[in-house]
Amino acid sequence: MANRLHEVFGSRPVLCDGAMGTSLYARGIFINKCFDELNLSQPELVRSIHEEYLQAGAEVIETNTFGANAFRLKRYGFQDQVEAINRAGARVARQAVEQLADKQAGTAYVAGAIGPLGIHLEPLGKTSLEEARAAFTEQIRGLVAGGPGVGVDLLVIETMPALNEAEQALLAAKATAPDLPVIVMVTVDEEANCLDGTTAELAAARLSALEPDAIGINCSVGPATVLTAVERMSEATTLPLAVMPNAGMPRAVDGRNIYLCSPEYMASFARKFLKAGVQFIGGCCGTTPNHIRAMKSAVRALEAQKTSVQTTVKEAIVTETPPPPLAERSKIGRLIYEGTFVSMVEIVPPRGIDTRKELEGAASLAALGVHAINVPDSPRASARMSAQSLCIQIQQHAGIETVLHYTCRDRNVLSIQSDLLGASSIGLKNILCLTGDPPKLGNYPDATAVFDVDAIGLVNIVNRLNHGLDIGGNPIGASTGFSIAVAANPGVPDIDNEIRRFAYKVEAGAEYAITQPVFDLRILEVFLKRIEEFRIPVVAGIWPLTSLRNAEFMKNDLRVSVPDSILLRMQQASSPEQARAEGVRIAQEMIAAAKPMVQGVQVSAPFGRYSAAAEVLVEVLAQKAKPVPVAANEGASVGQL
């Protein structure tokens, strides 16, 4: 494929502009304003900044449309003006270029700036790749509206934190504006890797495979790291390279973030970029017309010439380590695979450091024949001992396998990977992937929630680790070998959304599911019917009620479906002892009725009453474990079972 940038610029160095937001902020536009909307409300202000960059020597100026996509504009109420804002951005930049042409000889070009959507995409977020591509497509239509000489001359996809988002933007550009050259740039961290963990080499190879006209790095943590990253990129592609770094890391000075890299410092790196083979050079956050002017002088002085550009790419080599079969990963994995009806009991970590009660309870349950202990991760956003710690203690002292509940509430994607690698290395092989209760439900409602990903994204992370890859696609060596469970709530009011999310979890790699407490068999039957086409083994949650108040709490506070007939039975109990006994009987009835439909039960132990959980399971434990009928696993693949 002919490189369209090469046709326009040849192989000579090309200087681009610097930051738009920095200049707007310097002119009194506060950061809580929508900078992109200024194309409509203050076009003269935006145009004056474009003109300053052109006068400083920039040959390519970017439109003021970095955040002009529907997702980012929605924060300001402008989501219905995507096309108008982008069209105006192209028009304002075009006017600046035409005014320059009238004043002096030379030609400048308008690049349509396309920034990230500001959200997580699948597999780590709720937004699908198709939705992301549609948002980029909408923005690009505005940038190219009006055709040649009116819309933009090329497209610059920039500051992409994740490779899959960069790929969707690039696919949208090629489909929407196939005749325009496209530069696509990712941003990197201190280690010169993309923010999703992808190495610079792998990013270069994957992006090059989609045939943009140039690839590169922008924003990031300053020119030094960008130089390292682009040197690594050059090893995996022969496409033209582009760099537009920040003016270093910002520093807080009198309450304001200030970028301290001088124009001379940026100019010195412009020379280094050219020696590294970079063709397109500009600036990002913190750079001003003064920086671009100094970089222009450096480019002229060096007079670097890039050799002829080819479009061949080197194939990225990704070493994947498939996980062992489910039956070989853990005892629970083997039982699930074999179709055995499994029994689990939930033990909540203590609020302090004394685990004697929990360990004694686990040991007694193990002696009765319970298959595994489930350990929640600070349920209801309460401050408790870590679930991982209690899991290890139970396995070491009680000799029974555990299922670690793991939530996304308290951890970013770096911490998630660290925790999971550590958990695997110390023998925790069963993970229940959960989004987690928000802090407002707990005893520290002002605590900060993370939620970098939700349960669907977490399943994707665990599944990648199971295949020997981190979330950036980098090899980690051996498979983590987790058996992957997910939660399901058959009684949620929006059952269509629950079914849709459950399907995503299965697609992401879930191998079995554990439901919320079941009190209404009709709801469970409907749920199982709805998931037949993508069904994996399902373990029913069972909760032995302790009182009418407990039943009302389940129904009204936790939004669990508790039929009126159950409430009436608990109401008729004449003493606390009778109420607890009635709760056990109800739980036993639920197990007996649900057993033909599911592949196991998880019994909770309300208020640490492990004897009540054992009593609920007495009939199950008394029977010799038998495989459940094949029909109960219908729809699951061999790998999932």
pLDDT in tens, 68-88: 999 999 999 999 999 999 999
Specify the pairing of strand 256-259 against strand 250-253: antiparallel
Averaged pLDDT, 407-418: 90
Banded model confidence at residue 620, pLDDT cuts 50, 70, 90: confident
Q: Is 433 annotated as a binding residue?
A: no
Question: In this predicted structure, what is the pLDDT of residue 106?
Answer: 62
SS (H, E, C) 50-78: HHHHHHHCCCEEECCCCCCCHHHHHHHCC
Q: State the average pLDDT for the chain.
A: 88
* pLDDT over threshold 60, residue 157: yes
pLDDT of residue 559 exceeding 90: no
Domain CATH number, residue 255: 3.20.20.330
Q: Are residues 190 and 46 in the same domain?
A: yes
CA distances from 35 to 31, 38, 64, 109, 158 (A): 8, 6, 8, 22, 17
What is residue 636's predicted lDDT score, i.e. its pLDDT? 31
**Range 621-624, long-range pairs (CB < 8 A, 24+ positions):** 621/343, 621/368, 621/369, 621/370
Q: Of the candidates 267, 302, 337, which is a domain's last residue?
A: 302
Same domain, yes or no, for 287 and 344? Answer: no
The full 3-state SS of 230-259, as one line of letters, equals HHHHCCCECCCEEEEECCCCEEEECCEEEE
- Beta strand segments in 177-330, E: 182-186, 214-219, 241-245, 250-253, 256-259, 280-281
Q: What are the pLDDT digits (tens) for 470-528?
A: 887 788 989 999 999 999 999 888 999 999 999 999 999 999 999 999 999 999 999 99
C-alpha angle with apex 610: 605 to 615, nearest 5 degrees? Answer: 95
Based on the domain organization, do 105 and 247 belong to the same domain? yes
User: Is position 287 within any domain?
Assistant: yes
HSE at residue 31, side-chain half, CA atoms within 13 A, is: 3
Q: Which alpha helices (H) appear in 10-59, and where do they start and end?
A: 21-26, 38-41, 43-56
pLDDT at 253 (0 to 100): 46
Per the CB < 8 A criterion, the answer to whether 594 and 524 are in contact is: yes
- Rounded to an integer, the average pLDDT of 621-635 is 48
Backbone angles phi, psi at 194, to 5 degrees: -60, 160
Would you state the structure tokens that stand for residue 468, as one six-digit string? 């020997």
- Segment 245-299, tens digit of pLDDT: 998 765 544 455 555 578 888 888 999 999 999 999 999 998 999 999 999 988 8
What CATH number should be reported for the domain holding residue 571?
Answer: 3.20.20.220
Same domain, residue pair 298 and 345: no
Residue 631 pLDDT greater than 60, yes or no: no
Structural domain includes residue 120: yes
What's the pLDDT tens digit per position in 347-373? Answer: 999 999 999 999 999 999 999 999 999
Model-level pTM? 0.66
pLDDT at residue number 556: 85
pLDDT digits (tens, 9 = 90+) for 319-337: 688 899 999 999 999 999 9
Q: Determine the structural domain holding residue 495 and report its residue range.
A: 327-633
Q: Do 116 and 178 lie in a common domain?
A: yes
Q: Tokens 């700036």, residue?
A: 113
Domain boundary among 302, 318, 350: 302
Q: Average pLDDT of 92-99?
A: 93
Overall domain count for the chain? 2
Residue 11 has pLDDT above 80, yes or no: yes
Q: What is the pLDDT of residue 149?
A: 77
Residues 384 and 259 in one domain: no
Give the closest residue to 595 by CA, choosing from 635, 539, 528.
539
If asked whether residues 513 and 467 sit together in one domain, one would say: yes
Q: How high is the pLDDT of residue 306?
A: 38
In a domain, 307, yes or no: no
Pair 121, 242 in one domain = yes
CB atoms within 10 A of CB 103: 11
Percent of the chain with pLDDT over 90: 69
Residue 393 to residue 349: CA distance in whole angstroms: 11
Asked whether residue 364 falls in the same domain as residue 255, the answer is no
pLDDT in tens, 432-471: 999 988 887 777 777 888 888 889 889 999 999 999 998 8
- Is residue 391 part of an annotated ligand binding site? no
**pLDDT confidence tier of residue 399, bands split at 50, 70 and 90:** very high
Say whether 194 counts as a known binding-site residue.
no
Domain check: are 341 and 230 in the same one?
A: no
Tell me, yes or no, whether 309 lies in a domain. Answer: no
Out of 260, 285, 302, pick the residue that ends a domain: 302
Identify the pLDDT of residue 451.
83
Output the pLDDT for position 637: 28
Same domain, 562 and 451: yes
